[in-house]
């Protein structure tokens, strides 16, 4: 079972520490604990150089932390990943819509998409969040031009500030 967990972890890009923890739990006949997802978030944070408070704030604003959330716009899971990303460069872990309901897969894809936007906009989190929400059409000449995306960005930034005690 340890080998299967390591393979799964490698596919998900979550690292051997989490895989070892899950493998040990499975070998002991236990279901993986909730703490395992907390460990996964830490690894995802390090992998994509995005703070855990940022991931958590975006997750809350996108889905109210509901892993099975679905939008009328065709976005799924915790970070509301559009089904157009399934199997693509920014979400290779997902093969089906059902995969987007897996918190680890969804969070990995969401963090990768946000990192892509951060790279595009010179690590400007407000602009990256606006593009994450509404696409690059919502950012022009270093400004957020879509009202919904501006509101989205502000909500996430406010939630980050609150989580950091500011």
Q: Are residues 102 and 155 in the same domain?
A: yes
Q: Are residues 86 and 155 in the same domain?
A: yes
* Alpha carbon separation from 97 to 50, 71, 115 (Å, rounded): 25, 13, 22
pLDDT over threshold 70, residue 2: no
The C-alpha atoms of residue 1 and residue 104 are separated, in whole angstroms, by 19
Give start and end residues of each alpha helix (H) in the chain: 2-12, 16-27, 35-48, 52-63, 103-120, 125-134, 147-163
In a domain, 40, yes or no: no
Instruction: Please check whether residue 38 lies inside any domain of the structure.
Output: no
Query: For position 34, what pLDDT does the model report?
Result: 53
- Residue 92, classified by CB atoms within 10 Å of its CB into exposed (0-12), middle (13-18) or buried (19+), is middle
Per-residue pLDDT, 114 = 98
Express each pLDDT in 32-90 by its tens digit.
Answer: 555 588 899 999 999 999 999 999 999 999 999 999 999 999 999 999 999 999 999 99
Range of the domain at 60: 48-163
Q: Is residue 42 part of a domain?
A: no
**Same structural domain for residues 53 and 88?**
yes
Give the chain's domain count.
2
Q: Which CATH number goes with the domain that contains 108?
A: 1.10.530.10
Domain contains 103: yes
Q: Is the pLDDT of residue 95 over 80?
A: yes
Indicate whether 138 and 88 sit together in one domain: yes
Residues 23 and 71 in one domain: no
| 99-148 pLDDT per residue, tens | 999 999 999 999 999 999 999 999 999 999 999 999 999 999 999 999 99
Q: 129 and 83: one domain?
A: yes
pLDDT above 60 for 31: no
Predicted local confidence at residue 37, as pLDDT = 83
pTM value is 0.78
Backbone angles phi, psi at 145, to 5 degrees: -105, -10
Residue that wins the pLDDT comparison between 31 and 165: 165
The whole-angstrom separation of Cα 77 and Cα 87 is: 16
Return the structure tokens found at 12: 């998900």
């Amino acid at each position: 079972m340890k080998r299967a967990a390591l393979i799964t972890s490698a596919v998900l890009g979550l690292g051997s520490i989490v895989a070892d923890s899950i493998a040990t739990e499975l070998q002991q006949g236990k279901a993986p604990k909730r703490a395992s997802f907390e460990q996964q978030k830490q690894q995802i944070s390090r992998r994509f150089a995005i703070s855990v408070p940022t991931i958590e704030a975006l997750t809350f604003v996108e889905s109210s932390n509901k892993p099975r959330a679905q939008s009328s716009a065709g976005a799924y899971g915790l970070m509301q990943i559009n089904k157009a990303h399934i199997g693509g460069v920014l979400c290779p872990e997902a093969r089906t819509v059902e995969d987007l309901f897996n918190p680890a897969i969804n969070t990995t894809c969401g963090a990768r998409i946000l990192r892509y936007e951060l790279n595009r906009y010179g690590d400007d989190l407000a602009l990256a969040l606006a593009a994450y929400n509404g696409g690059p059409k919502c950012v022009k000449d270093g400004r957020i031009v879509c009202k919904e995306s501006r509101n989205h960005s502000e909500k996430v930034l406010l939630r980050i500030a609150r989580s950091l005690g500011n």
